[in-house]
Amino acid sequence: MDPDTQEIKALLQKNLEFSQETNHMVHAMRRNARFANLVRVVYWLAIIGVIGASYYFYVAPYITKIESALQQTQMSTSQAQSTIQNFGQSLQKLLSVPQAPTTSGR
């Protein structure tokens, strides 16, 4: 064989080895990128899950207690208003009762 042919053959063999090595590296990079994306999605789902669970277990009971206290306050306020109105009506009825005419002694 010609020395140039052997040199070309050796260069082609090196080129093939480099391209195979590069191919393996690219596949490994893709695999790592997919794994990183999966980890990122799991990470954010865990954060969202923790936020949701903390709201459900820690914040929601306080909010329901506040809502019930607010409703009780509104009911008490409406009852007080109706009591005041009833008192006002009763007072008007008392004041509007005609008094018996007084007779003068002349």
- The CA distance from 87 to 13, in Å, is 107
- The CA distance from 21 to 28, in Å, is 11
Q: Angle CA(17)–CA(20)–CA(3) in degrees, nearest 5?
A: 25
pLDDT digits (tens, 9 = 90+) for 16-26: 999 999 999 99
Instruction: Write down the pLDDT at residue 101.
Output: 67
Q: Which residue has the higher pLDDT, 36 or 56?
A: 36
**What DSSP element (H or E) covers 22?**
helix 3-54
Instruction: Write down the pLDDT at residue 86.
Output: 87
What are the two backbone dihedrals, phi and then psi, of residue 2, each rounded to the nearest 5 degrees?
A: -75, 140
Instruction: Write down the pLDDT at residue 105.
Output: 57
Token duo for residue 91: 């007072």
Domains of the chain by residue range = 1-75
Q: Which of the given ranges, 27-36, 64-73, 82-91, has the highest pLDDT on average?
A: 27-36
**What DSSP element (H or E) covers 52?**
helix 3-54
